Amino acid sequence: MPREAPSFHPEKSEGLEDAFPPKIGHSGQVSVYDMEEGMRYVCQRCGNCCRWPGEVPLSDAELDRIADFLGMSLHDFIAEYTDLRLNRNGLTLIEKPNHECIFLDGIDCRIQAVKPDQCAGFPNQWNFPGWRKSCEAVPVPDDTVSGAGRSSGDPVPSPTRPGDSA
C-alpha cells in the first residue's frame, strides 16, 4: 500500500480518507513503518483492513488460485468478483457498496486459505505511515519471521505469503 500513487476510489470514499488509509495496491516496492524492533504483529481480526476503501490488486497466479478455490472458471470469477484497476493495470477485487471487500463475511474472509498476497502481507510485510491507528494487530516477540527487526521506513522485498499473519 510506495509504492504507486494512491489508486483508491476517491468518489467512493468521501469522508473516509481521514479515518482510513486506502488499500493501495503495491507494485513490488513496499516499505514498513512504525515496527518495533524484533517484533511481529499478530492480527486481531478487527477486519479494518478489509473494510476501508481501496484496491486489492490480483496477479495472474492469484486469479487462478482463487477461482480454483471457489470452484469457478477463471472467466466466471473475473466477471463476478473483479474489476479493472483505476490505473488500468490489472484487476482488483470489487467492493461492496459499503466499501467492504466482496469476500468479507462478518469478520471472516471467504477466501482466507488463498487470499491475495497483499492481504496476507499486511502489516508485517508491508504497511504505510500511520497504519497502527487503523490496525489492531499486537506486537509479539519474533525470532522466526524473516525481516524482524527492520527499521521503520526500511524497504522490504515484495510480500510473500507468511503464515496467515492477517
Binding positions for ligand SF4, rule: CB under 6 A: 43-50, 56, 93, 101, 103-104, 109, 111, 115-116, 119, 122-123, 135-137, 166
Decide if 51 contacts 19 (C-beta within 8 A). no
- Asked if residue 129 has a cis previous peptide bond (ω within 30° of 0), the answer is no
Taking the complex as a whole, the smallest distance from the CB of residue 76 to ligand SF4 amounts, in Å, to 18
- Among residues 38 and 70, whose Cβ is nearest to ligand SF4? 70
DSSP β-ladder status, 91-93 and 30-31 = unpaired
- Among residues 4 and 114, whose Cβ is nearest to ligand SF4? 114
Q: Where are the beta strands (DSSP E) in 79-130?
A: 82-84, 91-93, 104-105, 108-109
DSSP β-ladder status, 39-42 and 30-31 = unpaired
- Among residues 89 and 93, whose Cβ is nearest to ligand SF4? 93
C-alpha cell belonging to residue 120: 496476507
- Among residues 79 and 138, whose Cβ is nearest to ligand SF4? 138
Taking the complex as a whole, the smallest distance from the CB of residue 160 to ligand SF4 amounts, in Å, to 16
Nearest residue to 149 (alpha-carbon basis) of 131, 118, 124, 119: 124
